[in-house]
A and B are shown apart, each in its own frame.
Chain A
Amino acid sequence: MRVSFQDAKHLISLVGLFAAAVGVFVILRAAVVPAGFGKYGHYRAGAIDDNRARAVKFAGQGECVYCHDAQLQVRDSGRHKTISCEACHGPQAKHVASDGKEKPAKPDVIPLCLNCHEKDAAKPAFLPQVVKADHYTGTTCSDCHQPHNPKM
């Protein structure tokens, strides 16, 4: 049987070219693909940390109990017991971080109450609802209803 690769030297330049192309590919890929890409899947692993890195604005109910126990006891004895403080008082992470020095703004009472309690056919029956024109008698909701425990 004759040797198949008797003219093998013709192939050397081709092999060299192929090796060079692979080299260029590896270098280019290293330069273009960002660090951590493919660690967990077809994405940059650092993106998970980017999403985690943002600042929290709502401190969470767990923070409120440290200082405002009295208000929470009032809330827990009434029908507003499922509502977290920040649902009405807004995001308070700054208030917590500054040890209470950063004061939250007082809520705008009438629109705040009406967000939930304005009469609407789509609202579930368990929710007390009022038609503002029929119910409202002049001043403001909190004159009659204590907002933390709203029974009369």
Chain B
Amino acid sequence: MRKTRREILLSAGKYILLTGTAAAGLESLTGTASADTTTPASDGYKMADHWWGMTMEVDKCIGCGNCVRACSKENDVPEGFYRTWIERYHVKEGDMEHPTVESPDGGMHGFPPTSTPVDKSFFIPKLCNHCADSPCTQVCPVGATFVSPDGVVLVDQSYCLGCRYCVQACPYGCRFIHPTKNVVEKCNLCYHRITKGLTTACCEACPTGARKLVDLKNPKDPVHDFLRHYKVQVLKPHMATHAKVFYKDLDGSVR
């Protein structure tokens, strides 16, 4: 009954080979091999040709709240929740660590006027950063949220359990649970618009052009000049999320 070492090694090798073949066979049976994204949809939209993001010119934001209102109307965002919002920062001279931040109703109805120009103050528009290495999609236990092949972080609302892991994982606070649907809700970069050649509702409504939808894979997009010529920053770069919302003239106090 004793086997030589050679025999044991040989049979072990055979089993390893067979297991690999079986796994590959199962994978092709169940169709988990990756598909190609270059085939256009029926209307000619090719996911592989796009990599969506946004640029923010902070010095152009006037805090009017047009983006928040437009987003809310376009996407039927429930009252009291925001897919995009504006924050007003007040920074005491040199005190970068303790800015005062306010965002009444997400800035939807504007801001109560401040007249004292003692502190430095400015507006910061925020939304989902559509991170390429998004922490939120990594924690989803069922694959109900994901980065699409064209770089948009989407939610599969018919598949979401409402477990809230992703709400906690997002370092930017961009996700919330829909109060009646009980599934997660977030900015989808107006995916129904941008895939039809339109810009997002917030960019459409922005009066000063502070925010602009950009396609990083389009060689003719002005974003390439923007990123080459200006000093830009993403929010929380230390989180290494590969965020694709680029802020120009961002103050160091912004969290």
| Chain A residues within CB distance 8 Å of chain B | 2, 4, 26, 29-30, 33-34, 37-45, 47-58, 60-62, 80, 82-84, 86-87, 90-91, 114-116, 118-124, 127, 131
CA distance A44 to B31 in the complex (A): 12
Name which of A54, A55, A119 has the most chain B CB atoms within 10 A of its CB. Answer: A54
What is the total of A-B residue contacts with beta carbons within 8 Å? Answer: 154
Closest CB of chain A to B82's CB: distance in Å?
17
CA distance A145 to B126 in the complex (A): 32
- Looking at chain A's contact residues, is the secondary structure mostly helix, strand, loop, or mixed? loop
Query: Would you call A56 and B146 a contact (CB within 8 A)?
Result: no
CA distance A51 to B196 in the complex (A): 12
Q: Which residues of A contact B62 (CB under 8 A)?
A: 116, 123-124, 127
Query: Would you call B157 and A50 a contact (CB within 8 A)?
Result: yes
CA distance A84 to B113 in the complex (A): 25
Q: What's the tally of chain B residues with a CB closer than 8 Å to chain A?
A: 66
CA distance A59 to B122 in the complex (A): 31
Name which of A4, A53, A90, A120 has the most chain B CB atoms within 10 A of its CB. Answer: A120
Query: Would you call B60 and A124 a contact (CB within 8 A)?
Result: yes
Picked from A53, A83, A115, the residue with its CB within 8 Å of the CB of B65 is A115
Q: Is B168 an interface residue (CB 8 A)?
A: no
Given contacts A43-B143, A58-B204, A124-B62, contact A33 B30 (CB under 8 A): yes
The digit string for B116-148, where 1 denotes a CB below 8 A from any CB of A, is 110101110000000000000000000111111
Query: Would you call A60 and B204 a contact (CB within 8 A)?
Result: yes
8 Å CB interface, B151-196 against A: 154-159, 188, 191-193, 195-196
Q: Is B59 an interface residue (CB 8 A)?
A: yes
CA distance A119 to B195 in the complex (A): 38
Query: Would you call B156 and A56 a contact (CB within 8 A)?
Result: no
CA distance A38 to B142 in the complex (A): 12
Closest CB of chain A to B200's CB: distance in Å?
9
Q: Which residues of B contact A61 (CB under 8 A)?
A: 204
| Chain A residue at minimal CB-CB distance from B61 | A124
Sample (7) of A-B pairs whose CB atoms are under 8 Å apart:
A4-B3, A60-B199, A61-B204, A116-B64, A120-B111, A120-B113, A122-B111
Query: Would you call B154 and A121 a contact (CB within 8 A)?
Result: no
Q: Which residues of B contact A82 (CB under 8 A)?
A: 207-209
Query: Would you call A39 and B1 a contact (CB within 8 A)?
Result: no
Query: Would you call A29 and B143 a contact (CB within 8 A)?
Result: no
| Chain B residue at minimal CB-CB distance from A53 | B192
Q: Which residues of A contact B73 (CB under 8 A)?
A: 57-58, 90-91
